Amino acid sequence: MISKSLYFSAVMALACSLGFSQDKKQQDIKSIKSMCGCYEVKFNFTETFQYPKDSATYKPSETKHESALEWVELLEDTPNKIVMQHLLIVSDDMIIKHWRQDWIYENTDLYAFDKGTSWKYKKLDKKAVKGQWTQKVFQVDDSPRYEGSSTWVHVDGENYWSNVADAPLPRREQTKRNDYNVLKRRNIHEITATGWNHEQDNAKLIRDESGKDVLLAEEKGMDIYTKVPDIKCIAGQKWWKENSALWKNVRDKWQTLFDRHQDLNLEAKVDRKALYSLLFDLKPSATKAETDAIINKFVK
């Protein structure tokens, strides 16, 4: 029989552990939600190392330095799920729906990019994801891009989340490169005093039908988000209010597909048009039946 003192100690230890866990989770949530708002962004990418079979004819990607104004809208805010939509503000009259990131606490359902337009469903072990957050990143048409589960770190004045996940080619290279087909991304999201950084150490891979990878090149990315007053992004906020219903229908349709917990295979184009092009052409008043029908055409 356990003595009262040992029992009391065990209960206190458990209570302290649970308290620490909840405090840690609240720190995580604060860090994630701090990525919302209005930001001046600098996008920087450079190819660092090359490993081609024929180095004489290989042409590395050009170094990129671009800037933009971006509004990050908080769409969902629950204890275990936070959804944020990025909008690029080119001008007051030109807003581009950009990528979306969902953060899910202790998530066990994952879609891992394979190659081409295919994602493999994976069931994660509950013990393996304890205390972790999955970041699910979606393309401009809300189709999947890449996903990964890791722990937020808050130590020694640092505040970051790091993960490695396979992804399709980035949009900046889709029309320029066909010599690799998988981008293995090491993503670091770091909260800073002036906003946040999205740091990347990526590997450009050639993946064959058997799943074997050959490393072609590596690249460094550093996207710097500097917080500015929300009023500077008023055009993005207005655009989202006018278009949010349309894109909720799109998200809901994708969710029904993800909830099947099956591998996902998509068509790259239908009638010579990409999915994002067809969805971007819709009016804000488009019905769910319309968006469902378009997405269904792309699901194999």
Q: Which pLDDT band, with edges at 50, 70 and 90, does 22 fall under?
A: confident
Q: Which sequence spans correspond to the domains of the chain?
A: 33-231
Q: What is the pLDDT of residue 196?
A: 98
Q: What is the pLDDT of residue 14?
A: 43
Q: What is the pLDDT of residue 285?
A: 97
pLDDT per position as a tens digit, 128-137: 999 999 999 9
pLDDT per position as a tens digit, 150-198: 999 999 999 999 999 999 999 999 989 999 999 999 999 999 999 999 9
Q: Which pLDDT band, with edges at 50, 70 and 90, does 3 fall under?
A: low
Average pLDDT over residues 2-27: 59
CATH 2.60.120 assigned to 33-231 = no
H runs (alpha helix) in 162-281:
171-174, 234-258, 275-280
What is the C-alpha separation between 59 and 49, in angstroms, rounded?
12
| Of 218, 164, 223, residue with least CA distance to 190 | 223
| CB atoms inside a 10 Å sphere around CB 99 | 17
Q: What is the pLDDT of residue 19?
A: 59
Would you mind telling me the total number of residues written for the chain in this entry? 300
pLDDT per position as a tens digit, 284-293: 999 999 999 9
Mean pLDDT, rounded, of the chain: 94
pLDDT per position as a tens digit, 57-116: 999 999 999 999 999 999 999 999 999 999 999 999 999 999 999 999 999 999 999 999
Contacts of 73 (CB under 8 A, 6+ apart): 36, 84, 85, 86, 87, 236, 237, 240
CB 163 within 8 A of CB 174: no
Contacts of 89 (CB under 8 A, 6+ apart): 68, 69, 70, 71, 95, 233, 235, 236
pLDDT exceeds 70 at position 8 = no
Query: Rounded to the nearest 5°, which phi and psi values hold at 151?
Result: -100, 135
CB 267 within 8 A of CB 117: yes
Q: What is the pLDDT of residue 71?
A: 98
**pTM, full prediction:** 0.92
Q: What is the pLDDT of residue 21?
A: 81
